[in-house]
Chains A and B, each alone.
Chain A
């Protein structure tokens, strides 16, 4: 349970948001040319990091916009929030 600083709306309760999983997974340019292994890697395999993770969130019950977040999954501390397409503010 935490609050999230939506880059469009400001600080709101986490219950207004939905998590969208790991961020910066690039969609393959030519999906039809992928092998089954590559497709599985893109579609299913995840780092599922314990520690600092880059992830996608959507403000479902607010502006309904997607954005990115850097969060420590071991204690739910949010390190940074940034818009889609922007570079992560921390490495």
Chain B
């Protein structure tokens, strides 16, 4: 890798007041034709381009992004990474991603600030206890680390949680995945963009796709705001806007796009050194390195692309946070925002070929796509390069909605991802 970041480059650039760092990626105009075009310059799209170039030796790849890279859901999520999913297919998919995360900063020569601080999922009723115990056993059978904690152990691991039996939804126990944690979301997009760029991928920003040109059952290229780009393979990684792209190609997907909200507080000194999620009361919280509490709320139930959400969703989440963490009662919230998430009926993603030759979709990640970024890119690159899915994403095909072979994580993972 040329322009490798190291202690010496840091030292060298310090002497010139950090004003002479080279650009991490170029800003090229689109060429007339590419072997593969990826629509969507978020983490998943950039990772796909990176692995297409790195593992499948494709030379002529473009990523087109309507805004700026990492400006969509990649920069809007709560950065939680875990792999403790119930079903075998999901466990395989998300643990594949987690294993890549563990070495990603070294691989990309870019600090993605991956922090294995553990993720704890709380149980608030008898059914939660049963479900979480079942999930712990399923995780272990799949080689994923998981332990079940009783109330005292939960309190010991995260002392600020209110474990009093008197609260409306008392903490009856929880699970802990120690390998889980968080990463810096922007750095993931930037690291993959830099890596892809160095292998010759064209990252074209401010380039919105307006149409998909088909010749019979083959794709011929895309119409964009920067003109027509010819290509035989299109990988769509457009998250909340996947259906918009699909409609351009005359395809329907089993997706609904809804606003998902998150918020951060004013920064405070370190108080919570892990990630705590609670499905039953729908609140989860961690603390960023800057000191802000990062709080995830829920989705609204109506379809919307407005990147806004209902006030009552935030209110519900914060009331749950306050009951679980009375210490936060005087915290002020700094920012609140919404992202548009594309949700499948079974709440599992689609990484798949379609009925149109050369058109591939990576979508349906719903409320929990960030954690899968490296694995998703790797498997989608494999699917595009070979025109066949990898065994780890074979179950996540579009055809499962016809065959009925759903990967039903909805009941298992409930609302929180």
Residues of A within 8 A of B (CB): 1, 14-15, 18-19, 21-22, 36-37, 39-41, 43-50, 53, 55, 57, 71, 73-76
Contact = CB atoms under 8 A, between A and B. Distances in A.
B155 to A, nearest CB: 34
A14 B312 CA distance: 10
Given A1-B308, A36-B402, A47-B243, A41 B302 contact: no
5 contacts: A19-B300, A44-B345, A45-B252, A48-B253, A76-B304
Given A75-B306, A76-B308, A48 B243 contact: yes
A74 B304 CA distance: 6
A53 B303 contact: yes
Interface string B311-325: 110000000000000
Contacts of A45: 252-254, 401
Contact of A48 (B255, B311, B312, B345): B255
A37 B402 CA distance: 6
Given A19-B302, A21-B303, A55-B303, A46 B312 contact: no
B257 A40 contact: no
B336 to A, nearest CB: 12
A18 B301 contact: yes
Given A1-B308, A1-B309, A75-B306, A50 B252 contact: no
Contacts of A49: 243, 247, 303
A49 B304 CA distance: 9
Given A1-B311, A15-B310, A44-B345, A50 B253 contact: no
B308 to A, nearest CB: 7
B241 interface: yes
A17 to B, nearest CB: 9
B256 interface: yes
B160 interface: no
B402 A19 contact: no
A49 B79 CA distance: 28
B219 to A, nearest CB: 20
B217 interface: no
Contacts of B342: 48
B127 interface: no
B305 interface: yes
Contacts of B257: 48, 50, 73
Nearest to A77: B306
A21 B254 CA distance: 12
Given A1-B309, A15-B312, A76-B308, A44 B303 contact: no
Contact of A40 (B243, B309, B310, B402): B402
B244 interface: yes
Contacts of A53: 303
Contacts of A40: 254, 401-402
A53 to B, nearest CB: 7
Interface in B70-115: none
Given A46-B253, A47-B252, A48-B253, A74 B306 contact: yes
B137 to A, nearest CB: 31
B305 A73 contact: yes
Contacts of A21: 256, 303
B361 to A, nearest CB: 13
A23 B271 CA distance: 47
B20 interface: no
Interface in B245-281: 247, 252-257
Given A1-B311, A19-B301, A40-B401, A46 B306 contact: no
B403 interface: yes
A36 B403 contact: yes
- What 3 pairs between A and B have smallest CB-CB spacing? A19-B302, A48-B243, A44-B254
